[in-house]
């Protein structure tokens, strides 16, 4: 084999190898992990009449329950309960927008969180008594989901509400 033929054969092999790697890489999926919702309770049915009564007092339209907002609320409640912290952002690389997209929540969206309340009524009342949370509940949203999860260490309740367009 001449040097030129050998060089051409090597280039062909490298090109084919690279193509195979590109093909294999193209077949892999980079979908985000599904949300962890095990251990959370969907409390949307209990919260919905309370939130809609509040919105009616302010001459706003009613919200509806949605699977996406309920799942996003469950995910956030579980995350807080596992961390033992009431925070919107937990851990390195946490991102509200990514969590909403992972749960197929239509944007814009908002999130209310609470901790320690013993019932959905208490959680909603706490949000009503907080200016920023109240603004979220009176915002231009169509859907709501509410969930609670308990910390395994002390059984503290962590509440999350997700509102979306």
pTM over 0.85, yes/no: no
Q: Is 100 left (phi over 0), alpha (psi -120 to 50) or beta?
A: alpha
Does residue 4 or residue 104 have the better pLDDT? 104
Q: In 3-state terms, what secondary structure has residue 25? A: helix
State the alpha helices, DSSP H only, in 38-163: 44-57, 67-83, 96-102, 120-128, 131-137
Contact in structure between 78 and 149 (CB atoms under 8 Å): yes
Buried b / exposed e across 11-29, counting CB within 10 Å, b at 16+?
eeeeeeeeeeeeeeeeeee
Q: Is the pLDDT of residue 48 over 70?
A: yes
Task: Encode pLDDT of 124-156 as tens digits.
Answer: 999 999 999 999 999 999 999 999 999 888 899
Pairing of strands 109-115, 64-65: unpaired
Tell which wins on pLDDT, 35 or 51: 51
Residues in the chain: 165
Is the distance from CB of 44 to CB of 71 less than 8 angstroms?
no
**What residues contact 77, with CB distance under 8 A and at least 6 apart?**
40, 147, 148, 149, 158, 159, 160
The confidence score (pLDDT) of residue 65 equals: 97
Q: Indicate if the pLDDT at residue 11 is higher than 70.
A: no
pLDDT for position 25: 35
What are 58-101's pLDDT values in tens digits? 999 999 999 999 999 999 999 999 988 888 878 776 788 988 99
When computed from its CA atoms, the radius of gyration of the chain, rounded to whole angstroms, is 24
Whether residue 158 is predicted with pLDDT greater than 60 in this model: the reply is yes
Contact indicator for 138, 52 with CB cutoff of 8 Å? no
């Amino acid at each position: 084999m001449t040097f030129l033929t050998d060089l051409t054969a090597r280039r062909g092999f490298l090109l084919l190898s690279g193509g195979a790697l590109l093909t294999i890489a193209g077949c892999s999926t980079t979908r985000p992990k599904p949300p962890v919702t095990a251990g959370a309770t969907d409390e949307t049915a209990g919260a919905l009449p309370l939130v809609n009564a509040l919105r009616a007092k302010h001459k706003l339209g009613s919200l509806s329950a949605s699977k996406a907002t309920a799942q996003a609320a469950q995910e956030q409640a579980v995350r807080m309960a596992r961390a033992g912290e009431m925070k919107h952002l937990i851990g390195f690389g946490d991102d509200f927008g990514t969590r909403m997209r992972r749960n197929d929540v239509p944007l814009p969206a908002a999130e209310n969180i609470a901790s320690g309340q013993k019932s959905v009524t208490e959680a909603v009342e706490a949000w009503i008594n907080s200016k920023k949370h109240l603004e979220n509940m009176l915002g231009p949203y169509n859907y709501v989901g509410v969930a609670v999860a308990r910390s395994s260490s002390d059984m503290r309740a962590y509440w999350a509400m997700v509102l979306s367009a």
